[in-house]
Homo-oligomer: A and B are copies of this chain.
């Protein structure tokens, strides 16, 4: 995994992919599947919707650290599997054959099998709306990975994979941040 400039990390999240989020509660690590996420600005600041119904939430709240791991279509059953069991009972890295890689700024692990990873600090929790505000501290991208198509959840148990790409950089040049023109 190569370093990705933090100013480009929002391009990993803007398309709305299914992601994994790793945490470490001080004793054990855990992974959850999250599909309710949003970009907040071009500086790797993100919002996610989560709350006490996710076992990982306690670790997020306590340690204020996590890693967003962006998966691809070949990991669909891993994403669904992780989303339908609890870290309370199981070691999800072991159960799903995922490899921990050491993060630089936070204790939760990167996931080696994922296309990209973003180390994040929790900067705020808006409990009223179950919104957690994250600030990226470092980002990584595995450009050697063949499968790069992201996965999107519909929310009813079906999913859709990235299809054809379209380039409108020319039309949008005035609106793009410096690093992305």
Within 8 A of B (CB), among A2-50: 8, 10-11, 14-17, 35-41, 45, 47-49
| B-side contacts of A154, CB under 8 Å | 11, 14-15
Query: How long is the Cα–Cα vector from A163 to B171 in the complex, in angstroms?
Result: 24
User: How many copies, total?
Assistant: 2
Q: Check A163 against B166 for contact (C-beta < 8 Å).
A: no
Query: How long is the Cα–Cα vector from A89 to B167 in the complex, in angstroms?
Result: 26
Min CB–CB distance A108 → chain B (angstroms): 21
Q: Check B38 against A14 for contact (C-beta < 8 Å).
A: no
Query: How long is the Cα–Cα vector from A156 to B171 in the complex, in angstroms?
Result: 11
A144 interface residue (CB < 8 Å to B): no
A83 interface residue (CB < 8 Å to B): yes
Write out, one digit per residue, whether chain A residues 76-94 have a CB within 8 A of any chain B CB (1) or not (0): 1100110110000000000
| B-side contacts of A10, CB under 8 Å | 155
A127 interface residue (CB < 8 Å to B): no
Within 8 A of B (CB), among A89-139: 124, 126, 129-131, 133
Beyond the given A11-B154, A47-B49, could you list 20 further A-B residue pairs with CB under 8 A, ordered by the A residue number?
A14-B153, A14-B154, A15-B155, A37-B38, A38-B131, A47-B47, A47-B129, A80-B168, A80-B172, A84-B175, A129-B133, A157-B169, A158-B165, A158-B167, A158-B168, A158-B169, A159-B168, A160-B163, A160-B166, A163-B164
